[in-house]
Amino acid sequence: MIKKFIRKILGVKSPAEAAAAKRKPTVLNAKEHGIDPQLLSSNAIRVTSTLQENGFKAFVVGGAVRDLLLGVKPKDFDIATNATPDQIKRLFRRAFIIGKRFQIVHVMFGQDLLEVTTFRGAAVDSAPKDEHGRVLRDNTFGEQFEDAARRDFTINAMYYDPATQSVLDYHGGIADIRKKTLRIIGVPEERYREDPVRMLRVVRFAAKLQFTIDEATRAPIPVMAPLINNVPTARVFDEMLKLLMSGHAMACLQQLRKAGLHHGLMPLLDVVLEQPMGERFVTLALANTDERIRQGKPVSPGFLFASLLWHQVVEKWDAYKAAGEFAIPALHLAADDVLNKQTDSLALQRKIGSDMRDIWAMQPRFEKRVGKTPYKMLEHPRLRAGYDFLLLRCASGELDAELGEWWTAFMEGDGEQREHLLTVKPKDTGVVKKRPPRRRAPRKPVAE
Ligand code: ATP
Ligand code: MG
């Protein structure tokens, strides 16, 4: 009785009241949430209205609602509905059921893909878990309020109905958007244990949205960070890629460090964050990537990882050369070493690995500015990536800027200009850093 009275005075909800409140969302109308309907894609509206016309509930959900509330055009639209995957599939001409464990439906309109998901049910204690508590499978359908409770952060758990223009908010997401706060839904330790990738996600969102991480959400991260090691490497790699290609890679890496997630977690991160020699190069590469993404230009993961690991390659390349190997085979050996090590730990896909190798292997060839070599380089299918990489090496001070300028002129020049460039004597080989001299095998005295 007294407790109830104190709660009433303080405006604090009892656990039962809190649970009941989460069954019923706060509903905001267009005036209250201020979403600009122009930011919505017509295909998202097509999907929600088709489902609704057929008697189902359907909403835009997750990151798209968050972005709409922030006045940002979402890059993709996810839809949540109470229709089952089969029911969804029947309503669209090009719809494909994806996934074995928890089925979702991909609805395609031309190139545009929308992910349509049936509301997920509450996590059940009996769901299979690994020995650290990570949920391996849970594929029950459920009510909308249960779907909301299973999402990661309050700002990612809102639903928008384009027909009524209302936002349904189950976990105080609107308030957190206004406070620019990232808050995990439920008990943070439990949620990280269920899925440790959420620790990487919170860091990515904090950097990307420039939000602060709520103290209770942030506090367990340094302690629970090692749980990420038990997540399949392919999934961690996907999340890392999202992080590095978010347009805020530098900020993300700084956040990772701040959250205590940078150490001993991912071999690649150790390399990136703790190599003093390549710091300038990596910083430039990431700044360059962020800029390209913000300008809407494509970024290849191969180029990105080739940059992140370049100084490891250089170190090994120098070592092989010092041991008497010729420059080109030494570079290939160094690339093999680095790729083999990272492929195991990072689940680097084969395609990304071969792009990286191409970019690295082109580098010494840029230093040959005579004869047919430069013309052959012009025909190389990966010339652009190799050249961008060369410019990065120049900008970082590894090579003389003159080499990059020569290549810019050669690539842009006409036949005559190119011929002239080939006769220009380079100021030097372009190499700034002093490389150890190749060790020659000592001449054996000739036997008499
Ligand atoms: P982005 O802008 O990076 O796409 P997003 O929030 O849309 O951000 P997605 O990975 O596309 O992120 O996920 C869509 C939604 O699914 C999220 O907004 C969230 O509600 C839910 N979600 C995704 N991953 C998890 C997770 N690991 N745990 C709980 N909910 C998740
Ligand atoms: Mg998304």
Which residue ranges make up each domain of the chain?
A: 21-179, 186-265, 290-428
SS3 61: strand
DSSP for 259-284 reads: TT--SSS-HHHHHHHH-TTTHHHHHH
In terms of average pLDDT, the best of 180-194, 271-285, 364-378 is: 180-194
Q: Could you tell me the distance, in angstroms and rounded to a whole number, from the CA of residue 132 to the centre of ligand 1?
A: 22
Q: Could you tell me the distance, in angstroms and rounded to a whole number, from the CA of residue 1 to the centre of ligand 1?
A: 41
Predicted confidence band of residue 428 (pLDDT cuts 50, 70, 90): very low
Ligand nearest to the CA of 62: 1
Answer yes or no: same fold for 186-265 and 290-428.
no
Residue 169 annotated as catalytic: no
Of the listed ranges 140-154, 217-231, 432-446, the one predicted with least confidence: 432-446
- Topology of the domain covering 21-179: Beta Polymerase; domain 2 (3.30.460)
**How many angstroms separate the CA atoms of 336 and 12, rounded?**
60
Predicted confidence band of residue 349 (pLDDT cuts 50, 70, 90): confident
pLDDT digits (tens, 9 = 90+) for 75-110: 999 999 999 999 999 999 999 999 877 789 999 999
The arithmetic mean of pLDDT across residues 155-169, rounded, is 98
pLDDT digits (tens, 9 = 90+) for 216-271: 999 999 999 989 988 888 888 888 889 889 999 888 888 888 887 866 555 666 66
Stated pTM of the model: 0.82
What pLDDT shows up at residue 255? 84
CB proximity list for 448: less than 8 A, separation 6 or greater: none
DSSP state for residue 106 in the 8-state scheme: E
**Which of 156, 209, 228, 252 best tests ligand 1's pocket when mutated (most atoms within 8 Å of CB)?**
156
| Residue whose structure tokens are 């800027």 | 401
Predicted confidence band of residue 324 (pLDDT cuts 50, 70, 90): very high
Extract the tokens encoding 254: 């700084």
What pLDDT shows up at residue 376? 93
**Which of 41, 151, 153, 197 best tests ligand 1's pocket when mutated (most atoms within 8 Å of CB)?**
151
The arithmetic mean of pLDDT across residues 133-153, rounded, is 88
- 197 CA closest ligand 1 atom index: 27
Q: Could you tell me the distance, in angstroms and rounded to a whole number, from the CA of residue 8 to the centre of ligand 1?
A: 35
CATH for the stretch 186-265: 1.10.110
Residue 76 annotated as catalytic: yes
% of residues, the chain, pLDDT over 70: 84
CB distance 267 to 346 below 8 Å? yes
Q: Could you tell me the distance, in angstroms and rounded to a whole number, from the CA of residue 312 to the centre of ligand 2?
A: 33
What pLDDT shows up at residue 140? 85
- Mark out the alpha helices in 117-172 (DSSP H runs): 144-150
Predicted confidence band of residue 392 (pLDDT cuts 50, 70, 90): very high
% of residues, the chain, pLDDT over 90: 61
Which position has the higher pLDDT, 239 or 174? Answer: 174
Residues 78, 138, 147, 400: which is the catalytic one? 78
- Please list, residue by residue across 277-301, b when 16 or more beta carbons sit within 10 angstroms of its beta carbon and e when fewer do: ebeebbebbbebbbebbeeeeebbb
Residues 67, 138, 147, 152: which is the catalytic one? 152
CB proximity list for 393: less than 8 A, separation 6 or greater: 281, 310, 363, 399, 404
CATH for the stretch 290-428: 1.10.3090.10
- 78 CA closest ligand 1 atom index: 14
What pLDDT shows up at residue 342? 75
CB distance 198 to 152 below 8 Å? yes
Q: What's the full length of the chain, in residues?
A: 448
Ligand nearest to the CA of 152: 1
What are 160's strand-pairing partners? 60, 167
Residue 270 annotated as catalytic: no
Residues 76, 161, 195, 318: which is the catalytic one? 76
Of the listed ranges 55-59, 79-83, 126-130, 296-300, the one predicted with least confidence: 126-130
**Residue 85 CB neighbour total at 10 angstroms:** 21
CA distances from 19 to 2, 146, 182, 370 (A): 21, 11, 20, 75
What residue's CA is closest to ligand 1, atom 9?
A: 63
pLDDT digits (tens, 9 = 90+) for 14-52: 555 566 558 899 999 999 999 999 999 999 999 999 999
